[in-house]
Amino acid sequence: WSLCKVLPLTKVAATCGSLYLCDLSIPASIFIKSGITYVSPFGSKFIIPLHSKQ
């Protein structure tokens, strides 16, 4: 398996097996100060599987 801190390049999952995205927990204030509208895809999770279920 592989753990990514950012979205991976395309076709990486085929060579890495199971692929996961982790939440870096960047404070919301950073996005606000930067003028970025951001909604976290993580919800209550800190890891999201990006591979298809097998």
CA atoms within 13 A on the CB side of 22: 6
Q: What is the pLDDT of residues 1-54, one digit of tens each?
A: 666 677 666 666 566 677 788 888 889 899 999 999 988 888 899 888 877 666
Give the model's pLDDT for residue 9. Answer: 63
Give the model's pLDDT for residue 11. Answer: 64
Give the model's pLDDT for residue 23. Answer: 87
pTM above 0.95, yes or no: no
Give the model's pLDDT for residue 13. Answer: 53
Give the model's pLDDT for residue 32. Answer: 94
Is-contact 36 21, C-beta < 8 A? no
What are the sequence ranges of the domains in the chain?
A: 2-49
Distance between CA atoms of residues 54 and 39, nearest Å = 29
